[in-house]
Structures are given as structure tokens and as C-alpha cells.
Structure 1
Amino acid sequence: MGIPQLKKHLEPHAERKVIEPCKAVVDGPSLAYHILGLCCRQTRRTSPFEQPTYDLLGRTAISWLNAIEECGISVIAIYFDGYLPRQKRPERVQRLLHSSRDLIKYHSAFITGVPRASSSKADDDTTVVDLFPHSWPGESRPKPPPPAFLVPAIIDALCASESYARLVYLVPGEADGFCAERARREGEPVVILTSDSDLLVHPLGDNQAARGEERGDGLSRLSFELSRDPYLTLGQAVEKCKRKGDDETLQKEYEAFVQSYLTPEIGTGFREQGLGYNEPRLDPRVSELVHQVLQRASREGQNEESDGEHYRNVEMFLPLLLDSTSRTSAWEGSRDVRRLAYAVLQLLTTRPISMVHEMRRMQRASSGTAIEVPPQAKVSELTSTLLNLMSKIQQSVGRTKVVWLVLGFFYDICLTVDRGRGFPLGLELLSQEKSGKLNETSWEFVHFLAEVQATCYSLRMLSQMLGFVASRVKKLPKQLTRLSRLLEALPSLPEFPSLGTFAEMLRSMREEGGLDCLLNVCNDARFNDILPHIDEIKRSTIRKKSPKKTKGVQMGEGRIAPRLTNPFNLLVTAGSED
């Protein structure tokens, strides 16, 4: 993850050389963000409409690797983080907090809506990316967060490539440590391609850096001081390095810091898995969660009271979505899909997981949003209800992309019902789309898109967890096997709804039977105040109404009662299995 400010302080003293033909190991996350930077050089960075698509990012990653190989640099491995050690958690929380605050600033800077794309923006199919630019333009204005699924999209693209699939590894630790270890194992010099300054602290061996013990200790000590206080100037950090023996407690802290690089922490019970072989594919953040569950399984029989907080709290760091900070997180609507996913993982351990703490947009450092995990006894019921829901949708609209859009609308409606107030955001946008008044730059449009993306990604998480559990147990229950097969039809990341495609998808929702399907799956007493609005959108153009007349589910006989369980239960009696 890098030592704060270390690269900034050392870069002026770096020696620049031409890389001769050699072998190279690539830090995957660094590659992903480098590719993002290349694709964004000539775009309006304040506009999310000009962010590169996942398809362009993947194609550019392949082109960049091809280009360096043509220069004589032979890539022998590309490593991605599959687990982050405990000591990295505080830094990671601070990064999430910083990113969340940046999103709040962005929302405040463009409160009336996100900036449109410039008229000169080229279509992605014709976009030519400069793979080796001489300069990098700066941007001081607030920017949207990077594409939420950047890293898994790059992994998917590499794994689909005949040239690089066999070189991609999702490792049970930080990528930089595995890069360093691979470089040490090679019998000849190896270049490590990374932007992670942590690599400078890893021991690389005499044939890699030719650094003496004193130099190595000095660089490690400097890194340690900066990790403790990133606001130090280089001169201040050097002065602190000179006083290294004055404080016994500080010296022990430093020794522990160095040891973490000599023997980095890796996840328990997980061997290096090569993506593109027979191992089930996991996105890095899903992999991190799986490692935590496997660690709990490896500690079965031990006293839970003696466990550290890391072992008691199972955490899921969800990708940061571009959503409206004046609204509840876009992840909230699809939480029940993830509850089922977390429950499925309990098949790997007899030690119950009562809570998963989701780390998502936050305004202050915290332990995240606690998500209650259903016990194993409830997995069958939850699976059956989701199967019934998906079966009803597929029977209405076929196996088209509208299936996943209907799910997004359904969870948005359930979230509104759960709160007992407001009006479903998705239905409001459908009304605008049909009347020709849809504003694609409004925060309402952006937020509902994020909700649908969250639904699709939550289903992707569930699909990956089902695949992983199936590889670890003798046999999955029949219903879970059926659900896993249904989820094979999920859209790939490049096919996820985006700002460029979402307006057209809303039109498809109306024209391809989505509204009839929504009426069908919402055929329950709790939705009585919602159904007339769906039917009205279906029958005629919706006129813009004044705020006083559109208080959503509070119209008529007062507030709708909050749901008592999860939204799947609303369909238990309505649906039936094939």
C-alpha cells in the first residue's frame, strides 16, 4: 500500500536508466492504476462521463504489456493482493475515509449535477491511448472516485488473454511482498514494475539492489519514521533516524516493522492460486473476506475471548461507488444479497459468523456498518426465496440483461418500503425517461445507477463465494448449486450498467417487459401504494408533479409498515421453483 511520502522524498535522488532486455515481475494493483492514469490523460477529469470504460481499461492493459514485451522486457508474473495484513488496516481505513471525504467534496462542488462530457470525447472503440507519455497533466478541481471495479476488471481482461492468463496470481498477501520474493528466487536480475514504495523496504537480495546492510537499515529506518508521521520533512525524518537507539520501546516497534517485511503476513489455509487455471476466480476484496473466514476455521477449538479484534470482526471492504452523499449508501438496497453470500461462507467453518462489518463510504473512522449474517439453518430458506424471485423475473423477461435491472428496481422499492417514507428513486427516473425529461447528469440518476451497480456486484460476490465454497466442500446443497448456475448469466464488468449506457437501459426496462415483471414481483400487500405508480408509468406518459403531491408511499392511508424480515420473504408464497 506504500509508505506515505517516501516516494516523494526519494524520487529527486533517484537514478534514471534505460531498462535493458530482462525479466520483469509486475505489481498488479500498480499496473491497474497506471493504466487508469494513461486512459485519463486527455479527458475532462471532473466529468465521470469521461472516465474510461472497463473494456477500454482492459484493452489498454493488454496493449501496454505487449508494448513492453516488444522492448525486450519479458513478464514472468503479475501479482494481485488477495489479503492485506492486520497492520495495514489503520492505513486502509484512513484511505477509505480520505476517499469518502473527497466524494463529499465532489458532491458539494457540483451540487446541481455532475459535469457533462465534452463534445469532443471520442468513442472508446476509436480511442487511442498514449502508452508512454512524457508528461502527466495535473487537475486541482474535485474529481469523482476512480471506477469502482477497476482492479477486478483488469484481472478479468488479463485472465481472458492467451498471453497473460497463466501469469496472473491472486496471492494470499500483498502483491509487493510476492514480487520481491519472486525476484529473489530468480537466478538472474529481475525488474519489478510497481508504484508501491513498500517495495523499497523489502529485502531484494544482493543481485537485485546491491545494497549494504547499513544502507538497507537506513532506508528501512526512514520508511519507519515516515510511516509513524507522514508529515515530516525529509530533514526531520533523517534527524529522527539518527536517534534510533534512544527509546527502547520505539526500537522494538521498529524491529517489528522490519520483521513484517522480512516475513510478511499471509492468509491462512490458502495457497497461491493461479487465476485462469482450475481454481475458482475471486475478486481481491472477496478474496480478503474468504481469507478471514478460513482463518476463523483454522482457529476452531481455540478460545474466542483470546482472539484479537481482527479475528472477532470479519470485515468486507466494499468498492467506493460514485453515489450521492446526501443519500444512504448505494450499497444499502442490495444488502440482503450480500447477507446470503456471507451466510454461504459459513459452510467453510463450524465457528458461526454473526456479523460482517462492511467498510463503505464513511464520514469518520469506525468499525463499519454491521451486517447481520443469517445462521446456516436459514441459508436454505434465503436461497429458495432468491431462486423464486429470479425465476419469476426470467419467466417474464427471458434471460436478457433486463433481469438484473429489474432486480435493481425491486431492491430500490424494498428499501423505500423498509423506511416507510419517500418515493422509489428508480420509478421517478422511469417517469422522467418516458416523459422525455430525464436528466442524466442529476445526482438522482447517478445514485440510482450506483444502486444497480451495487446489486450486480453483490450478485457477483455471491456467485464467486458459491464457486469457492463448492471447491472446498464435498457437495453443495442442491438449491445452492442451482443458484450458482443461474448466476453464471451475470453480466461481465464491461457489461455492467454505466453512465454511458444507463439511460438506454431505462428505456429497455419499459419496452422489454420490465414494468410488467415489476408489477408481478411486487404483487404483495406491502406494495399496495407502489403498484399504482408502476401501472401509471406503464400506461401513459407521467406528467411532472409538484412535491406536495408526490410524497411517494406516504400518499393515501399514511406510512407503509416497515418490512419485518428481508425483501426475499415477500415473494415466498408468490414464487415457485421450476
Structure 2
Amino acid sequence: MGLFDHATTSFVSTRLPPAPFLVPVIIDALGKSETYKDVVEVVPGEADLYCGRSVKQHGGLVLTGDSDLLVHDLGADGSTSFFKDIDHQPDNSDGLHSLIYYPTTIADRLSLPQSHGLRALAFEMIMDGHGTFRKLLGQSITLKTINMHEDQYLDFLKPYNALSQSTTDSANRSSGYPCQFMNFLHTLDPRISEWVFQFPSIARCTDSTASAAQLETNSIHVFLPFLVDCPIRTTAWEASTSLRQLAYGLLKNVTSTSEQEYCVFEHRRQNNINGKGYQLPNTPVTSGACTNLINLIEHLHHNFSRLPVPDRWIAFAVYQQVEWSSSAGKPVNSNFIVQKLPTLQTQTNLNNCAWDSLQFLAQVQGVFYSLRMLQQITGLLMSGGFERPCMKEASTLYDQLKSLPPLKDVPSFTCAVTLIHKIRAENMVQAAYNTLGIKEQRSLEVQETSENSRKKRKSGKNMAPKTPGRKQVNNSFELLEVE
């Protein structure tokens, strides 16, 4: 299908989500492109505000997927267009086509007050979600609801007030943060940036008042990318939790005293709406964890010094998966799929990968991204500007993480079999067991024993007669076990 083809709802709902690290990979590519690197800017806050300011000052069009841009102050000549409206007409040599929306023109046609524009109608829709368009339009023309709820209207406007260049410059000058720190903020991944800016002491270095306002409950919320893993198993992010906890702890320990008690809540698959909370370690514990990680990386890189640097990090990911599985009493996926290698010879794409392979690959991807989080946070600490000094272990760790491969080179589904061959050929699983000082788990034997035990338990139960030709199961997800 073409890039701008419109698929039916039923088709879209059955598709897998986009690649988990698509956005940061694109940002990395643009930053390294000779054509685009000088005209692309990653802003440390809501991009809508910066786009709105640019269009208001210079005119132009904002290409977006967010209809809220119509409510932003885009100026008299500002306009917006939506990704869903982009269409390609093969018979037309002009290329791509899209509808363009001019908020001021729309407001004029609706006879809305020039002082309020589409914001008046948007506020009416917020206050009365069940009102008819004719009713809401009439009330927005007379500013009925706005006059009745002025304070609520002012709160409604806060996320849409365009930034002024003088305000941003003033915030940057008065923040006291060094230039290196400000520049590094612009290199953070969006998922990392959004939780970093929840610390008020960091948010104040830009005009990110909206981010700072979220910290009234003294809690930081981290939204991790979606990993394609087995839906009935423990989320693949769990295998790399310790790495992310270290990243959270390193940042927390250098922020202001008033922010030392903040808790972090991770939002991942298989979590409730509140996320999974973590009490972050204090400085001595964080320092010890840094030292242990540094020693582990040095040990594994020394053991696999004959391999290219990216492959040494794969060995680290294997170790991380084996260590977590062993300590949590879970089957070691890496061990199992290496033993199962002959059956994977033809499985070169996602459509016929077994759940074990998918789960392991997702765990590897989770380890790499968690290391990237550590890499970016330690880099931010090295750029200075915090109230508390950074521990020396963080500097050593940052130097080690500089060799981490970019996200575009993180193993994907297209190279799953090649990855497993490499792990087996280099005895990475055995090396992980040797480093841990524990006996290798024979995953095939464990699984077969567990399967036989399960069958024996089920055979001893009084079961209702089965309908001929139809398998009866108590748990509908058991059907997923049939590979």
C-alpha cells in the first residue's frame, strides 16, 4: 500500500503498532543528515507552542496530527494541515495534496469575536460535550459561557498561549544553567525529555510551565515505548528495570532538595492506569549500583573483545535477560531459543516467529533502550548545572556508554534468526551463567517437565464430555500455546 492510502478501520485495528523507537530513530537520522540537520530543531517542551510561535511570527503552515493546533495562536496568516488529510493522486504530477485550515478565516466565517476566535467555540465544547453545534456556536458568539466562567476559561487557555521570544530568552538567561546543559536538553529522546522536564528545577530553564505544574503530587511519570512481546507473559520491560531505576536515581540525586522525595511511576503494558511505582535509591546505593554496572560492562567487553563493539552489547543484553529470569524464577528465554535453533531456521520475519523468540527479542530491545536512557541521563549530568554535584561513577559510566550502538542498529524482527545464531556461536548464554556463578538452566527440560505435570493434573480432573472436533479450554489464551 502507498504511504498515504486510507485503510479501513478493521484493517488498521489488526495491524501491529509502529516500531517502538521510530521517533527517536527519525530524530537521530535528521540530526546526522547534511541536508536537514541545520533546519531541524528538537525543542525541550511541547512542540505545539514552538510551532505556534514560529508560524505567528513568520507565517506558514504547521503539519500535524493534533487538532489542538487550530486553537493555538497562529497569527493572522498561520495555518495548519493534518496528516490524515494528505493524499497522493497518481494521475496528478503535482504530487501530494492536503486540506489547509486557516483558523482566523474559519473564525470569521463563523462570526466569532476576533478577540477570542476559535478558542471561544473550543471552550464551549469543553464545557458542554453534549450540546448541538448550533447551540454552542450561538453561545460562543455571545461569549456566554466565557463570561460566566472566566477563571476556568483562563485555565483553559494556559496550554495554548503562544511563547514569546522575549519570555524564552529571559527564562534561559535567568535559569543559571550553562549553555552546554541547554544544548544537551535538545538531544534527549521525547520519551526521556518528557519525564526530565517534570522536575520543576529543570523545567524552569525553559518556558515549560505546563511541565512544572504537573509536579503538584510529587510524582514523576515515565511512559515507555510499546514493545511487541507476548501479551500473557510478564512485560519484556521487566528484564531491564534495574537499568532504568539507576537512570531515575542518578537524576533525582542531583536535583534540588525539595525534589529528593519524588517517586517515579512507569507506564508500561500490563500496568494499571497509575503505572508501577518505584522508590528511588539514595546516593550511596546509586553509587554502588553504578560501580557494579561499570564492572559488569568491563568484564563482558573484555570477555568478548574479539567481537565488534555492537556484538559486545548484545552479550550484555543476554546477560541482563539471564540474570533477571534466574532471579525472578522465570524460564530463561535466551537459553530456550538457542536450544530450539534448528526449528527457527526458516523463521525470518514476524509472521512466523514463535512467542519465545518475540519475547526474547523484545527483552533485548528493552535492554538497549534502557541503556540509552542511562546514556542520555549521564550525559545530561556531565553537562553541569545541577544544585548537587554529580558522582564520579556517573562520568565513568557515561564514557562506557558512548560505544552503545544507535537505535537504528538495535536488533529487529528482520534479523531475529541471525541474532540467535550469533548468540549461540559465541556462547553468550553460557558466558552469562559463568559470570553469575550459577548453573545453566536446561530450558527445554524444564518446559517439558512443566508441560507433563500440567497434563497429569488436567487428566486427573473430572472433565465434561468434549464436543467432537472442537478443543475445549478453560483459558482461551491457552490456544496461543499452539505454535
Per the TM superposition, whether the score is higher than 0.5 is: yes
Question: In structure 2, what residue type is equivalent to 1:316?
Answer: V
Does the 8 Å CA contact 2:221/2:267 hold for their aligned counterparts? Answer: yes
Q: Distance in 2 between matches of 1:408 and 1:332?
A: 13
User: Shift of residue 171 of structure 1?
Assistant: 1.8
User: Shift of residue 262 of structure 1?
Assistant: 2.0
- Asked if residue 418 in structure 1 is aligned to residue 317 in structure 2, the reply is no
User: Shift of residue 407 of structure 1?
Assistant: 2.7
Q: Which residue of 1 aligns with 2:155?
A: 256
Question: In structure 1, what residue type is equivalent to 2:269?
Answer: R
| SS of match in other structure, 2:340 | helix
1:431 to 326, 339, 361: 339
Q: Which residue of 1 aligns with 2:400?
A: 486
Return closer, same or farther for 1:294/1:465 CA change in 2, 3 Å cut-off.
farther
Q: Which residue of 2 aligns with 1:502?
A: 416
User: Shift of residue 191 of structure 1?
Assistant: 2.6
Deviations 1:72-118 (A, max 9, x none): xxxxxxxxxxxxxxxxxxxxxxxxxxxxxxxxxxxxxxxxxxxxxxx
Q: Which residue of 1 aligns with 2:292?
A: 385
For 1:120-139, list aligned pairs within 5 A.
135-139=5-9
For 1:288-299, list aligned pairs within 5 A.
288-295=194-201
Q: Which residue of 2 aligns with 1:400?
A: 309
- Asked if residue 360 in structure 1 is aligned to residue 232 in structure 2, the reply is no
User: Shift of residue 464 of structure 1?
Assistant: 0.4
Q: How big is the alpha-carbon RMSD for the aligned residues of Structure 1 and Structure 2?
A: 3.7
Q: Which residue of 1 aligns with 2:434?
A: 520
Q: Distance in 2 between matches of 1:543 and 1:438?
A: 25
User: Shift of residue 249 of structure 1?
Assistant: 6.1
Does the 8 Å CA contact 1:410/1:518 hold for their aligned counterparts? Answer: yes
Q: Distance in 2 between matches of 1:438 and 1:232?
A: 58
| SS of match in other structure, 2:372 | helix
1:180 to 31, 52, 61: 52
In the alignment, structure 2 segments of 5+ residues that lack a partner are: 79-101, 206-212, 455-483
For 1:94-493, list aligned pairs within 5 A.
135-141=5-11, 142-186=14-58, 189-208=59-78, 211=105, 214=113, 217-227=116-126, 234=133, 238=137, 241=140, 245=144, 250-262=149-161, 281-295=187-201, 310=216, 312-345=218-251, 346-350=253-257, 351-362=259-270, 364-366=272-274, 368-398=275-305, 399-420=308-329, 422-434=330-342, 436=344, 440-473=352-385, 476-493=390-407
User: Shift of residue 501 of structure 1?
Assistant: 0.9
With normalisation by structure 2, the TM-score equals: 0.71
| SS of match in other structure, 1:489 | coil
Return closer, same or farther for 1:427/1:161 CA change in 2, 3 Å cut-off.
same
Q: Distance in 1 between matches of 2:157 and 2:228?
A: 37
User: Shift of residue 296 of structure 1?
Assistant: 7.0
With normalisation by structure 1, the TM-score equals: 0.61
Deviations 1:333-359 (A, max 9, x none): 101001111111122333314521112
Question: In structure 2, what residue type is equivalent to 1:456?
Answer: F
User: Shift of residue 173 of structure 1?
Assistant: 2.4
Q: Distance in 1 between matches of 2:428 and 2:360?
A: 16
| SS of match in other structure, 1:370 | strand
Question: In structure 1, what residue type is equivalent to 2:116?
Answer: D
Does the 8 Å CA contact 2:322/2:332 hold for their aligned counterparts? Answer: yes
Q: Which has the larger radius of gyration?
A: 2
Question: In structure 2, what residue type is equivalent to 1:515?
Answer: V
Q: Distance in 1 between matches of 2:407 and 2:54?
A: 30
Deviations 1:395-418 (A, max 9, x none): 111253332323333333333333
Does the 8 Å CA contact 1:348/1:472 hold for their aligned counterparts? Answer: no
Identity rate of aligned residues, in percent?
A: 27
Q: Distance in 1 between matches of 2:442 and 2:310?
A: 23
Deviations 1:205-258 (A, max 9, x none): 234355556267352233234456777775575466468525866453233213
Q: Which has the higher contact order (CA 8 A, sep 6+)?
A: 1
Q: Distance in 1 between matches of 2:200 and 2:19?
A: 29
| SS of match in other structure, 1:401 | helix
